[in-house]
Amino acid sequence: MRLSPDQIIFWQHGFFKLNATIVYTWGLMLALAVGSYLITRRLSRGLQRSHWQNLVEIVVTGIEQQIKEVGLNQPRQYLGFLGTLFLFVAAASLCTIIPGYEPPTGSLSTTVALALCVFVAVPFFGIEEQGLGGYLKSYAEPTVIMLPFNIISEISRTLALAIRLFGNMMSGAMIIAILLTITPFLFPIVMTVLGLLTGMVQAYIFSILAAVYIAAATRVRQPSPEPEAQGKE
Amino acid sequence: MLIDWFTVGAQTLNFLVLVWLLKRFLYKPILHAIDAREQRIAAELADADAKKAEAQKERDVFQQKNEAIDQQRDDLLRKATVEAQAERQRLLDEARQAAEALSSKRQETLRTEARDLQQAIRRRTREEVFAITRKALADLAATSLEEPLVAVLLQRLRGMDGKTKQGFTEALEKNADALIIRSAFALPAEQQETMRQAINAIFSAETRVQFETAPDLICGIELATNGHKVAWSIADYLLSLEQGVDELLKDKAGPETKETTQHEHSQVEAQRP
């Protein structure tokens, strides 16, 4: 039984191979980039604008708003990374309605790659925000005894991130494949709709968790604004 | 093995490329467009606020000006009304005075004309009566008018009362030349002599009567001295005629004068605003 699109290999030369995961990812990248270019090539800066521009503006400002709500005060700094995470995972899920398509996020290799990106991005943004020393000190908070536990937490949450997305996407595709063999007509369509919902939820969860990790890394050493906020309240 | 490390690396690279692509083609242009729109809206709002404030300011200024103009207009109107009323009163008074002056002038003119006419009629009447009488006497009795006049005067002298006669006598005692006979026409010498003799007889004295011609008497004759006079003229007879003519003139002129005065008054009333 095939669990991952990695197993569909179109071309291989030693270590290098071209499997379905990479090809579908390229397809998604092409669609997203070309679509973005077509929409943003003639942007209106006035009050009148096209429907597509409206849609894209809603998506971008929505993502920006979500990042801000998580606690990142300068959302535009993180919009490129977190927004792309959301759009890629969401697009990968949405395209499951195309027959013959396999979501690249249903491959553990892809989810691990995304989780690794988050794993690298968290200290990257943390160090950028509060310096190397400040960021490393955050591992020894509140005491040095917590250092190993913090490191374990960092690794395990990255692993959980990868496994969660893979599990959900893979299981969705798997269930539809199994149901197709049992009840070919109506039921798989309902499950596809459910899969779309699950995919959107997973995209939201993945990007929000990444935002939360980054927020935790950038805020931990800052003079806590919470007492001020409480004072204001 | 579910994890293919080559695919992991390739997907990581793919993801980073996608991040760059979307930043280049999606986030930057969209965010720029949103920022530009927000700036434009903010600028328009600020501009609108400034214009609104300016409009409010100008409206206040205009309102103040309007109030000032209204106040000024009311003042001017009130002043003009008062002046117009005063001017109207003045013009009315002037017109009334002018009408009254005109009316009195006309009345005066009428009175003068009536008086002149009356005098002219009186004179003419005397002349006519004198001429008629003279002609009638000449035609009927083949005598002149002077003779009866002298006769009448002599008759009156003879019939005068004692007091008058006493007065004449006293005057003659003081001055023998005091007696003067005035007549409208020159008396012939014969009649002068007759008169002289008759007077001498009446006053029983030698008098030197002087004869004078007085056209005013027209048809009359008189014997006069200082303060005393015996006379006859047709003036007495003409008096009743004059009275009759006067009444006639008054009857005729009275309504006309009244009508004229009323007409002038109505004209003055019509000229009032």
Domain boundaries, chain B: 144-233
| Angle, in degrees to the nearest 10, between helices A75-94 and A51-70 | 120
B12 lies within 8 A of chain A by CB = yes
* Token pair in block for residue B40: 């434009």
Between CA B43 and CA A120 the distance in angstroms is 42
Q: What is the pLDDT of residue A221?
A: 46
Question: How many domains does chain A divide into?
Answer: 1
Which residues on neighbouring strands pair with residue A12, listed in sequence order?
Answer: A17
pLDDT tier for residue B273 given thresholds of 50, 70 and 90: very low
pLDDT in tens, B25-43: 999 999 999 999 999 999 9
Mean pLDDT of the residues in chain B: 83
Between CA A206 and CA A81 the distance in angstroms is 12
* Token pair in block for residue B159: 């019939």
Mean pLDDT of the residues in chain A: 87
- DSSP 8-state secondary structure symbol assigned to residue B184: S
Determine, for residues B2 and A45 on separate chains, whether the beta-carbon distance falls below 8 Å: no
pLDDT tier for residue B253 given thresholds of 50, 70 and 90: low
Residue A149's Cβ-side half-sphere holds a number of Cα atoms within 13 Å equal to 7
In the three-class reduction of DSSP (H, G, I as helix; E, B as strand; rest coil), residue B224 is classed as strand
pLDDT above 60 (res A187): yes
Q: Which of A40, A42, A67, A107 to mutate to test the interface with B (most CBs of B within 10 A)?
A: A40
Where in the sequence is the domain holding A26, given as residue range(s)?
5-41+49-225
Q: Is residue A125 part of a domain?
A: yes
User: What separation in angstroms does the CA of B60 have from each of A93, B57, B68, B70?
Assistant: 64, 5, 12, 15
pLDDT tier for residue A230 given thresholds of 50, 70 and 90: very low
pLDDT in tens, A36-66: 999 998 888 777 888 999 999 999 999 999 9
- The ipTM of this complex is 0.89
Q: Is residue A233 part of a domain?
A: no
Residues of A in contact with B43 (CB under 8 A): none
Q: What is the pLDDT of residue A232?
A: 41
* Token pair in block for residue B237: 């007879």
B37 lies within 8 A of chain A by CB = yes
Residues of A in contact with B10 (CB under 8 A): 22, 113
Q: What is the mean pLDDT of residues A115-140?
A: 90
Determine, for residues B33 and A43 on separate chains, whether the beta-carbon distance falls below 8 Å: yes
Q: What is the mean pLDDT of residues B187-199?
A: 83
Q: Is residue A188 part of a domain?
A: yes
pLDDT tier for residue A228 given thresholds of 50, 70 and 90: very low
pLDDT above 90 (res B16): yes
pLDDT in tens, B104-153: 999 999 999 988 988 888 788 877 877 787 787 778 766 677 777 788 88
Q: What is the pLDDT of residue A99?
A: 84
Q: What is the largest CA-CA distance in chain A?
A: 64
**DSSP result, A65-85:** HHHHHHT-S-HHHHHHHHHHH
Q: How many beta carbons lie within 10 A of that of residue A181, not counting itself? A: 8
Determine, for residues B3 and A21 on separate chains, whether the beta-carbon distance falls below 8 Å: no
- Higher-pLDDT residue of B157 and A81 is A81
Determine, for residues A6 and B40 on separate chains, whether the beta-carbon distance falls below 8 Å: no
Burial class (CB in 10 A: 0-12, 13-18, 19+), A92: buried
Residue B112's Cβ-side half-sphere holds a number of Cα atoms within 13 Å equal to 6
Residues 107-136 of B with CB under 8 A from A: none
B22 to chain A: closest CA residue: A33
CA distance B32 to chain A (A): 9
Residues of A in contact with B16 (CB under 8 A): 117
In the three-class reduction of DSSP (H, G, I as helix; E, B as strand; rest coil), residue B210 is classed as strand
Residues of A in contact with B7 (CB under 8 A): 6, 17, 19, 21-22, 107, 109-110, 113
